[in-house]
Structure 1
């Protein structure tokens, strides 16, 4: 059954295609059901005999597997490219290796082509990637209709996205339909995210500077040569973050026994260390998925349906991987772009049938991650120079800044941090002065950012 936004968008796609316009660009927040929408459009085009075949492209094999399953089920036929199949899904990387016979076949049939997470494909520059150039040069000209989709339609390198249109001279992205996180939360399509930012009073020792004390991780990272990696890989800090996350997952599983957690690690060695901590320190069931493991896609598929508590990954479950039972995530990767942060957060936002629909992301209070967390309630970040957002015709509430210890409330203007509610709570543990080279961690504390909640909903 189509959701309201999917029904509305499908009708707009049909109208545009039947008005002799062959391309449609959809921006829909991660977890909202873009793949099902694309399958519905394909079904309508097949039923109206406008196309013969369907071809999908996606950024990774795991995403292709999800698309294949959705299209096969919704279209009621095989979607593996074999005999009698109505279509197939390929990775973007595969485009450059397709044979001449493939392109000849494409030219003989009326083909509907779907590009999932199209922001992976850049164009219009010598630095553009190969598959972006191949899409513009070969695929688009041979396809009867194209549908480009993205949950995060911008690139960290700021190159133009293939198949996208931009205003001139502002360079703002023009989309045909937008379904943002604000709408998805209001419609009950996505969970309301809560982001926990863990901070610490840090002591740094060095031969030249002696002993220095810092009130926060942000200050330490700014005023010393220590890298963020030294924080995410420090055992004391890592244990504390995992402890918070395990407690939260345990509480959720009391209502939803099948709920799971995801840890996004910085390296394979880091992932192995995290898995060991989860097993030995916190008595958790866990599996690891990295490029070094055999059959990683089968491991992900197994985790999707089993009852393990945690899956630890190095960049393999950051985008497009549909595991609705994920409700807790630890972001301890050294990749700190806003694009990646939002993609990781999207893994825990998809609503399912479980009684508890909380979504919690745990990370450290590094400057950029704090900024990204505060901007989550903005569907598209203001820092993105290539994207424009339709203005919302409604008055949004101020932020309530809550000091749980002193029970005081201070109203802040919406433009300062975004809209919604930002609440702070602290958890103080005994000092644990274990040295990591020249770093010692003292009192941990954290703040919880709650978005899309009115003042009256504060606990």
Structure 2
């Protein structure tokens, strides 16, 4: 298979490094094609007589399927772990189940071990390792002929060390033997240019029985510990607005690329079903849903990959490593707000294909962390960015008086909103909410909130030197 320039350079760098050490760490931006590079490196090591077998580990069965297909094609041999196969691929969850007889293979043969999305493996020592990292330290670290660690986001949200990694002093940043960043990937036409839309509201009113408070932004609202981000992403009219904006953008892209698709990242299975209902019933979109409780989620993802369906709604099933190049729009409504997850989600819409319209659009609420992540991606890329403030025409009234009963509220635009608040009463004074109390409220997604202002969109565009009208 034909390699991209960075893939060829990385293979050469790894082969050179393997002359003096057995471990190689590659950082490549999500969507750049790490699996193809790894398969080529394995093929070269086999041709040189350096290894007998290849073992791969990844975070999910969906990624496993992609690895199995790519390696089998490049090595021209079975990659299913059965008799006569050149290797196999397993999920990290399967690591603790592997027996001593399996690990004996690494002691009696020259085995090349590849760890995809290696940030899932925690620990520099057995004392600080997670279960998966412990297996690597015990059975792979000193027994594999060579190891290759791959990641597009080489850090952990808990700040813990990644297995087999080296860190620079004094700032403890991870040392990578080869790095291929987003800026270079965009310049090489390996990844699409990301456009990040931060959706806000400029007049948010909170009503209790005793007082009314007004906030000028979502970020300001969430400084009040009585109210959570999860409540916002579960509110019907907020979901509807964000989905509608995403649908408009996908429709625009599909005018020149009829096969373009969109991804909605949901917070829970219940949330995903609500989002699917809005897409299909209200916005008249073709859509499917994939969650962990379905019998064949991998089949659903593959069917969507090959189809012309407009949207797929996912709960944790389409994130790191899942390859669906026709995805070009993402509506981020997940409760997870870590930078690693954010960048992995963004990576789902950055993979280029042969279509004409190579655009990538990510829609999120302008919550503080998500806004910082957008700016941080921008700062990683030194080109001038363009920030466009766009105020939409839709006024939204979600006024919910605080009480312990079910209320129907008439919105300014004529829409009625029915919310059941039975069983909950929020504190009337600002203060530090206890973790258990806040968690209980989060579980039910019930908050007193009124958004009276127009929606505001800040668009972060990479590498544009001019303003684009909205």
TM-score normalized by structure 1?
0.88
Q: What secondary structure, in the 3-state scheme, does the structure 2 residue paired with 1:288 have?
A: strand
Which structure 2 segments of 5+ residues have no match?
Answer: 401-446
Contact 1:377/1:452, CA 8 A, preserved across alignment: no
Query: 1:204 — aligned with what?
Result: 206
For residues 21 and 319 of structure 2, the distance between their equivalents in structure 1, rounded to whole angstroms, comes to 33
1:97 maps to what in 2? 97
2:257·2:357 contact (CA, 8 Å) conserved in 1? yes
8 A contact 1:237–1:441 mirrored in 2: no
In the alignment, what sits opposite 1:452?
463
> C-alpha offsets along residues 432-454 of structure 1, whole Å, 9 cap, x if unaligned?
3133552122211211110133x
How far apart are 1:254 and its partner, in Å?
Answer: 1.2
2:63 is the alignment partner of 1:63: yes
Q: Helix, strand or coil: the match of 1:222? A: coil
Counterpart of 1:426 in 2: which secondary structure?
strand
Give the 3-state SS of the residue equivalent to 1:361 in structure 2: strand
1:377 to partner: Cα distance: 3.0
Cα displacement (A) at 1:76 = 1.5
Partner residue in 2 for 1:356:
357
Cα-to-partner distance string for 1:362-386 (whole Å, 9 max, x where unaligned):
010111111101111344xxxxxxx
The question of whether the paired residues in 2 share the 8 Å contact of 1:58 and 1:117 is answered with yes
| Secondary structure at the counterpart of residue 428 of structure 1 | strand
* Number of residue equivalences: 419
What does 1:89-168 correspond to in 2, within 5 Å? 89-124=89-124, 126-168=127-169
- Tell me the residue number matched to 2:448: 438
Residue aligned with 2:141, SS: helix
Contact conserved, 1:421 with 1:449, CA < 8 A, in 2?
A: yes
Give the whole-Å Cα distance in 1 for the aligned partners of 2:394 and 2:302: 40
Q: What RMSD in Å do the two structures reach over aligned CA positions?
A: 1.6
Q: Is the 8 A contact 1:182 1:377 kept in 2?
A: no
Residues 309-331 of structure 1 deviation map (CA, whole Å, 9 limit, x = unaligned): 11111111111101100000011
1:169 Cα deviation after fit? 4.2
Q: How does 1:305-344 map to 2 (within 5 A)?
A: 305-344=306-345
1:422 and 2:386 are equivalent in the alignment: yes
> Contact conserved, 2:262 with 2:328, CA < 8 A, in 1?
yes
In structure 2, the residue matched to 1:33 is 33
Q: Deviations over 1:331-362 (max 9, x none)?
A: 11111111111111000000001111000000
Matched residue SS, 1:349: coil
Counterpart Cα distance in 1 of 2:195 and 2:322: 20
